[in-house]
Amino acid sequence: MTSRERVVAALTFSRPDRAPRDLWPLPYVSLFRKNELDEMMSRFPGDFGRPELSPGSDDLDLQKLSRSGSYKDEWGSVWQVGEPGVIGEVKQPVLADWSALRTFRPPWETLKERDWNHVNRTCDASQLFMVSGVCARPFERLQFIRGTENLYIDLAYDTAEIRLLIEMVREFYREDVVAWSRSNVDAVFLMDDWGSNTSLLINPAQWRVVFKPIYAELCEIIRSAGKFVFFHSDGNIEAIYPDLIEIGVSALNSQLFCMDIERLGERYRGKITFWGEIDRQRILPYGTPEEVRAAVHRVRKALDAGNGGVIAQCEWGKDNSAENIAAVFEAWESNCVSSRGIS
């Protein structure tokens, strides 16, 4: 199988020859451990590609994080990078004060500046399964614009201002998703971190009223264009798993080890593709290679029905050893899958 065929087989439960591989190196690894990263990718080639929006644009994004200091994002909020290679946080939200809302506008020019010919040529020249860059993160964007504490208060009071801002963000991301859906990528990538270690960050009922319709509209656009929907969300999001399945998410990347992995498998195996992951809070940074392999075994036994529905994804953070990352993919390569899962 080509990489594209393998991923499609995993997404459609059509018995791929192996679980597709997807390694996420965080900026620190890409910037300061490149030799280790190159060796890992040589040993375990990935099945996924992510086209640049224009030649060299990925390098520019890494340059922002290559040194400590501050920078302004395209929406106007100021970020602080405290340690080179480690993604910083917003220190000056552009709309910390609602008085600036009257003149605030989304950065429409960033959508117009994209080189879609470059994106399409890159996709057409590759046998990898091509996924867009992150193109919609409404909850996180609202936090970046208003500040996290302000946003939670806004949602609690449901003011006219927050409704207007939500609609601005929704309209921007709708256009972004439409553009990606017209391109030659195989899947469009949505994300928002919705969970703490124990529960959803807001009441699930409020999530269904305010945010679920936004995601549902985006999923409809993507699926109508014949693309797959890939979604990432950190934390314990078990409460909204059925909602994400209902609106058409094809592959879900979530922190499995914050939830009951076996229960997720019992309820949702065969209904959605589990796009990783392996525990990056404890096992990957602090565990042994043997513990890493045991974690992969647990995920496969719970979630792999033997006909697809799983992707061998893991994140490579600053404090993860190369040995533990290699152990992830070694364990996924082991031949111990029965007709129902791990034997």
Of the ranges 142-156, 302-316, 325-339, which one carries the lowest mean pLDDT score? 325-339
341 half-sphere exposure, CB direction, 13 A CA radius: 17
Q: Identity (one letter) of the amino acid at 84?
A: P
Q: What is the mean pLDDT of residues 295-311?
A: 95
What CA–CA distance (Å, rounded) separates 331 from 320?
A: 17
Question: To which H or E segment does residue 235 belong?
Answer: none
Q: Identity (one letter) of the amino acid at 130?
A: M
Q: Read off the pLDDT of residues 134-179 as tens digits, 9 standing for 90 and up.
A: 889 999 999 999 999 999 999 999 999 999 999 999 999 999 999 9
- Domain residue ranges of the chain, discontinuous segments joined by +: 3-57+94-333
Instruction: Tell me the pLDDT band of 56, cut-offs 50, 70 and 90.
Output: confident
Of the ranges 3-7, 60-64, 216-220, 334-338, which one carries the lowest mean pLDDT score? 334-338
Instruction: Tell me the pLDDT band of 335, cut-offs 50, 70 and 90.
Output: low
Residues 6+ apart with CB under 8 A from 90: 77, 78, 79, 80, 143, 144, 147
Does the pLDDT of residue 91 top 70, yes or no?
Answer: yes
Instruction: Tell me the pLDDT band of 254, cut-offs 50, 70 and 90.
Output: very high
Does the pLDDT of residue 73 top 70, yes or no?
Answer: yes
Which pTM does this prediction carry? 0.95
Does the pLDDT of residue 19 top 90, yes or no?
Answer: yes
Query: What's phi and psi for 117, nearest 5 deg?
Result: -65, -40
Does the pLDDT of residue 336 top 70, yes or no?
Answer: no
Q: What is the mean pLDDT of residues 299-323?
A: 95
247 with 216: CB under 8 angstroms? Answer: yes
Pairing relation of β-strands 89-92 and 251-254?
Answer: unpaired
Instruction: Tell me the pLDDT band of 84, cut-offs 50, 70 and 90.
Output: very high
Instruction: Tell me the pLDDT band of 59, cut-offs 50, 70 and 90.
Output: confident
- Would you state the pLDDT for residue 195? 98
Instruction: Tell me the pLDDT band of 337, cut-offs 50, 70 and 90.
Output: very low
8-state DSSP, 309: -
What CA–CA distance (Å, rounded) separates 40 from 322?
A: 8
Supply the Cα-derived Rg of the chain in whole angstroms.
Answer: 20
With H, G, I as helix, E, B as strand and everything else as coil, classify residue 30.
Answer: helix
What CA–CA distance (Å, rounded) separates 207 from 67?
A: 36
Average pLDDT, the chain: 95
What CA–CA distance (Å, rounded) separates 61 from 310?
A: 30
Does the pLDDT of residue 343 top 60, yes or no?
Answer: no
Question: Domain spanning 3-57+94-333: which CATH class is it, in words?
Answer: alpha beta
Does the pLDDT of residue 339 top 80, yes or no?
Answer: no
Does the pLDDT of residue 338 top 80, yes or no?
Answer: no
Q: What is the mean pLDDT of residues 90-113?
A: 96
Q: What is the mean pLDDT of residues 39-54?
A: 96
